[in-house]
């Protein structure tokens, strides 16, 4: 069956709707019963971050020290999980995913590795955040369903719980959608209230994705030259356009 520009090679349903894996000659993508891609893997380079918003979500790597513990809310096809585990061999990563079938799909169709450093928890993100006791250097939130951002990752209470889970000097990055059913400004207000700190916006070029960045307090002062050098260093090692992302971040956040 042809859908979304490719061939549907797997389809299943759970309590939250349809899960489809679609493949063409070059890529394999995850869909939740609608055209937007929830995750994409390049068949010839499974570790590459194909979708530009996933690369933008890793902007905290430029702004903070290398993470030792990270939390990913929303697994999708596991692109971010695979990338971080590969490039940071000492990293311990916790992943929270609401849908068990999505975890199965990521393992079977998107090469999610089975490693002692990776813990996947099937749970509601809000419940996990409020019950957890671990702290993290990096928290990434990318939780969408077929309608838009998942309601379990909304509200100042949720972000306040994430703030409690963030270690000193750590940072949150969350993928938001400018045309989502949950208002963008409402989401920004919730993050600001939960973290009790300003939120930086990083628009993704040519897309409706906006990455919101928040920390555990005022960021350590860094010179423009230091951040520029750090962006270039990581850009060379990780093949992510960090220099351009840093320029965009500065343009849209004049006080940054």
Whether the Cβ atoms of residue 152 and residue 36 lie closer than 8 Å to each other: no
Confidence of residue 199 (pLDDT cuts 50, 70, 90): very high
Q: For residues 175 and 134, what is the distance between their CA atoms, to the nearest angstrom?
A: 22
**Which fold does the domain 52-252 belong to in CATH?**
Rossmann fold (3.40.50)
Looking at the chain, the whole-number percentage of residues with pLDDT higher than 70 is: 93
Mind listing the pLDDT tens digit for each residue in 92-128?
999 999 999 999 999 999 999 999 999 999 999 989 9
How far does the chain reach from its first CA to its final CA, in angstroms? Answer: 48
Confidence of residue 220 (pLDDT cuts 50, 70, 90): low
> In the predicted model, is pLDDT for residue 5 greater than 90?
no
Confidence of residue 238 (pLDDT cuts 50, 70, 90): very high
Position 188 scores a pLDDT of 92
Strands 6-14 and 17-23, sheet pairing: antiparallel
> In the predicted model, is pLDDT for residue 143 greater than 90?
no
Mean pLDDT of the chain: 91
pTM for the whole thing? Answer: 0.93
Confidence of residue 222 (pLDDT cuts 50, 70, 90): low
> In the predicted model, is pLDDT for residue 150 greater than 70?
no
Q: For residues 226 and 220, what is the distance between their CA atoms, to the nearest angstrom?
A: 12
Position 179 scores a pLDDT of 73
> In the predicted model, is pLDDT for residue 221 greater than 70?
no
Position 154 scores a pLDDT of 76
Report, as an integer, the average pLDDT of 45-70.
Answer: 96
Mind listing the pLDDT tens digit for each residue in 154-184?
788 999 999 999 999 999 999 998 876 568 8
Measuring CA to CA, how many Å separate 118 from each of 114, 148, 197?
7, 27, 30
Confidence of residue 256 (pLDDT cuts 50, 70, 90): low
- Long-range (24+ apart) CB contacts under 8 A made by 233-239 are 234/61, 234/62, 237/87, 238/58, 238/61, 238/87, 239/48
Confidence of residue 4 (pLDDT cuts 50, 70, 90): confident
Per-domain boundaries in the chain: 2-42, 52-252
Q: For residues 109 and 104, what is the distance between their CA atoms, to the nearest angstrom?
A: 8
């Amino acid at each position: 069956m042809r859908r979304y520009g490719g061939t549907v090679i797997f389809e299943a349903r759970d309590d939250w709707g349809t899960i489809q894996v679609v493949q063409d000659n070059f890529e394999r993508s995850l869909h939740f019963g609608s055209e937007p891609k929830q995750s994409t893997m390049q068949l010839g380079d499974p570790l590459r971050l194909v979708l530009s918003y996933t690369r933008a979500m890793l902007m905290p790597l430029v702004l903070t020290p290398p993470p030792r513990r990270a939390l990913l809310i929303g697994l999708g096809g596991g692109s971010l999980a695979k990338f971080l585990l590969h490039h940071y061999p000492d990293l311990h990563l916790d992943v929270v995913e609401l849908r068990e079938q999505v975890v199965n799909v990521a393992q079977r169709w998107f090469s999610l590795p089975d490693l002692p450093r990776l813990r996947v928890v099937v749970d509601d993100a809000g419940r996990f955040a409020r019950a957890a006791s671990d702290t993290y250097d990096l928290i990434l939130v990318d939780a969408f369903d077929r309608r838009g951002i998942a309601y379990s990752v909304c509200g100042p209470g949720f972000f306040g719980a994430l703030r409690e889970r963030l270690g000193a000097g750590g940072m949150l990055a969350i993928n938001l959608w400018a045309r989502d059913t949950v208002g963008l400004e409402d989401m920004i207000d919730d993050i600001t209230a939960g973290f009790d700190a300003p939120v930086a916006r990083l628009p993704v070029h040519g897309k409706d994705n906006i990455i919101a960045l928040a920390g555990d307090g005022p960021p350590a002062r860094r010179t423009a030259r230091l951040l520029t050098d750090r962006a270039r260093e990581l850009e060379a090692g990780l093949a992510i356009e960090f220099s351009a992302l840093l320029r965009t971040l500065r343009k849209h956040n004049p006080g940054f």
